[in-house]
Structures are given as C-alpha cells and as structure tokens.
Amino acid sequence: MGISFHITSVKEGTIFNVMQFLSLERVTGTLTISFGRDIPQVSIYFVSGNITTAEFGAVVGDAVLDVLLCQEFAIKEVSFDPGRMREVNEEAIIVHATSLSGAMLNVSKDVDRCEARSLIYGMMPMKDHNSSNINSLLHLLNDFNSYENTLKKAPRDGKDKAAPLKQCVLITRALRNGALAYQTPMISLRAIRPLIDIVQPLSEKETNNLRGYMKSLLPHPKATHISIERFYAFSSAIESIAQRRSGDVGERARKTIRALIQRATKSGEATQVESKVESTAPGTQH
C-alpha cells in the first residue's frame, strides 16, 4: 500500500522532515506544497525515495528548493500522493539530488547568505511600473517568464543584492529602481529606530514584549521592512508605553509616528524600498 498524507500545520523544518521521511520510505509519487488557496502549488516528484523533479511554474529544478526554504514560513499545506508520473519535465530535474541531506544543507546555506531575502516578501501584493497589479511575489516567481524581460530593463547601479536565484537579483534591482513595487506602503525597521529611542530605557519585560510583537508582525524573520498596516499596530504599542512615561513623551511619540506614516505614504515613496537597510530589534541600543 502506498503512503499518502495531508498536513495542514506547517512549521519551520517541516519540509525537510517530510522529504527525509519520503526518502527513507523509498516512495514513488508527488509531494505537493501549497502557499495558499489562490497561489500556484509546488510539485516535487519522488522515484523510489529519490527526488527527481521540482516545479513551481517558471521556477524549476534545484531553484524550487531555494524558494521553499526562503518562503517556508508562508507554506500552508503539504500533501503526498503515490503513483508514477506519465511524463517527466526534463527541465525540472533536480541536479544535486544524490544526497537529500546534502542538497538541503547546501540550499539552506545559500538562503542564509542571500542578500536579497530581506526584501523578498512572497505573500505581499505587488505592481509593476505600469501600475498593473500582481497578486503576490510568489505569483511573479511562478509566472516569471512573463516579467523577466521587463525586469531586465531596470538599470544596474552597482548595488545588486547577491542571491542564488537570478529571479531574486532582478526583483530586488527592480524594487530599488521603482520598476516593481509592493502595493502597500513599506516602512524600514531602521526608520523606526528613533521612535523606539523615545521610550528608552525599556524594561526587560517591555523589551521582550516588543520584540515578540514585532516578530509576529514582520513578513518573515529576515525582513527589513514592515507594511504600514502592521506598523499602525506596532506604533500603537509604542505610543501606549510612551504615554505611561509622561504626556510630553506620549506627544513626541505621536509626532514621530505621524511623520513616519506621512513619509511612507508620500507619492513616489509609498512602495519603493531602500537599497540599503538594517534590521534593528526593539530595545537594542546603538
């Protein structure tokens, strides 16, 4: 009897554990990974426990593993169905599949070193320079062939972010040049630093609470920007702390919050990301 399953609670490390299990069980079939109801699925095909192909639209082969580990936080469901495929996509063959552990370790190192990752927010809606809406960055990756020529037109400025995938190099270049943008205004964590400084010194409890809250609001752990909607929630917590300090501190916090929102929503700055950003944890002194 073939193995089949459907997982709806996906946590960090789940993808590797699932693939390791399928490898040890020497199964043949298709592992399907879903980021959400309206986003195309990833398909990984196993033959006798060996990964043979991986596909996510225009992203195929080894590159799919990079996308999975980079966006693992966004995965919603994983399922496996046994059975042989009628036709194998030659372009989607996994080249470095002799050792699953080795392949995943190499991909993990690539993702950790990826300078573009901090600006790759897979679930967030985007738009191009013609103001045409793109459902999400994951949609763009899946249908990358439709956008590649346009993204290549974005001029190089010597600030390209190193990344294992050419798609991510072109995407971050286009984000910096305004050829591509997130639909919602973004605020860099570096720009939030002066707001946090207003309520310093923070108690240990306040520091831990703010760090935990910020982590829950960010698009992913390596993010350097926060969407304006989620900034509203974080700034409300800062304003509450400031008001407890004194009325004057509370007013300073409100003025700083208004200035950050105005800057983020001003025409021409609403969706474009900065070329160099730093992630600063709440409560950290410089």
If you write DSSP's letter for every residue of 27-48 in order, what string do you get?
--EEEEEES-TTSPPEEEEEET
Average pLDDT, the chain: 87
**pLDDT higher than 70, residue 280:** no
Among the ranges given (145-159, 160-174, 244-258), the one the predictor scored with the smallest mean pLDDT: 145-159
Q: Give the C-alpha separation, 86 to 65, whole Å.
A: 23
What confidence score (pLDDT) does residue 277 get? 39
What confidence score (pLDDT) does residue 222 get? 85
Find tokens 């964590």 and name the residue: 189
**Mean pLDDT, range 181-207, rounded to an integer:** 93
**pLDDT higher than 80, residue 97:** no
**pLDDT higher than 60, residue 281:** no
Asked if residues 39 and 139 have their Cβ atoms less than 8 Å apart, the reply is yes
Helix axes 228-245, 247-265, angle to 10 degrees: 170
> Most confidently modeled of 85-94, 101-110, 244-253?
244-253
**pLDDT higher than 60, residue 57:** yes
Six token digits for residue 273: 């990301």
**pLDDT higher than 80, residue 218:** yes
**pLDDT higher than 70, residue 98:** no
Asked if residues 199 and 283 have their Cβ atoms less than 8 Å apart, the reply is no
Instruction: Give the sheet arrangement for strand 126-128, strand by strand.
Output: 133-134, 126-128, 180-182
Percent of the chain with pLDDT over 90: 61
What confidence score (pLDDT) does residue 101 get? 82
**pLDDT higher than 60, residue 67:** yes
**Mean pLDDT, range 140-158, rounded to an integer:** 90
Q: Give the C-alpha separation, 20 to 202, whole Å.
A: 44
**Mean pLDDT, range 194-220, rounded to an integer:** 94
Residue 248, SS3? helix
Q: Give the C-alpha separation, 106 to 112, whole Å.
A: 10
Residue 127 CB: number of other CB atoms within 10 A?
A: 14
Asked if residues 75 and 65 have their Cβ atoms less than 8 Å apart, the reply is no
Instruction: Give the residue, 271 or 231, on which the prediction is more confident.
Output: 231
Q: Among 145, 199, 195, 148, which Cα is nearest to 174's?
A: 148
Six token digits for residue 261: 């929102």
Q: Among 21, 103, 33, 111, which Cα is nearest to 74's?
A: 33
pLDDT band at 128 (very low <50, low <70, confident <90, very high): confident
- Beta bridge partners, 226, equal 187
pLDDT band at 131 (very low <50, low <70, confident <90, very high): confident
Instruction: Give the residue, 68 or 155, on which the prediction is more confident.
Output: 68
Q: Give the C-alpha separation, 204 to 222, whole Å.
A: 23
What confidence score (pLDDT) does residue 165 get? 95
What confidence score (pLDDT) does residue 10 get? 85
What confidence score (pLDDT) does residue 32 get? 97
Q: Give the C-alpha separation, 121 to 247, whole Å.
A: 37
Q: Give the C-alpha separation, 63 to 267, whole Å.
A: 36
